[in-house]
Homo-oligomer: A and B are copies of this chain.
């Protein structure tokens, strides 16, 4: 149950079987610094390259293919008082003819006041002079090394996690990843101070952070896609294009879960899901889109 602190020097633009930076045990806690999506750290110094340079990988002793790695996000601390976003909707999220109404996208600076809990544009247009948003930090990109010795760009995501950009990946949440290599090889980075559904401007408020997480190896827990739990819900996440396929992955994974762990057959699990699921469009910007399928714990109480 050791506690580690880790400052990265070499960051990775792919999630794969890279040399581990630290070996940790099931139960350990790590506080790790992360750079922003373009590689700038808490001092504003570039320590990595785009896209989404990752801190890690962490080798989790005892994790083997066929296990799941449970990651609990303990805290996401803002370490810089600036962030940035793009300033126009992604051309992929509007009707094709509407693409022409937007100027070329630019990086725009934000001022983050973590103490006061809000962020605002550094140089707002006049209409947004009094406009600010809440600081609700989340992890944009994290996951474990994929199968087949692959190393996959941190711009995208898959069964192994990756750049899912889901605003629900915040402090207090537990996330399970399917382990494909010995030690799991866990990476993280790309923290956002705030992001709405879909990441439709192509970014959240991108910034540097210090993330505290703990890990636990779930031996023999075979899962197909990342799963998670927060205070009130269990959820699955599917990553693919188009949204329809991402939703199919998340829905099938939830159905698998309800059948395996809640004692439901295919029909009973359908009844529960049919009247209880909620979907989130996590991101509709990255090469793989991400859709979350949630079920309230209340809807499942008394089933087992």
Contact = CB atoms under 8 A, between A and B. Distances in A.
A251 B268 CA distance: 32
B151 A16 contact: yes
Most chain B CB within a 10 A radius of its CB, from A91, A95, A108, A150: A95
A115 interface: no
Interface residues of A, number: 86
A133 interface: yes
A284 B96 CA distance: 13
A117 interface: no
Given A242-B241, A281-B281, A284-B244, A89 B251 contact: yes
Given A241-B242, A242-B243, A279-B281, A270 B87 contact: yes
Interface string A259-279: 000111111101111111111
A216 B156 CA distance: 32
A101 interface: yes
B302 A251 contact: no
A75 interface: no
Interface string A126-151: 01101101000000000000011111
A69 interface: no
8 contacts: A88-B270, A103-B266, A130-B302, A131-B303, A195-B274, A200-B277, A241-B242, A244-B284
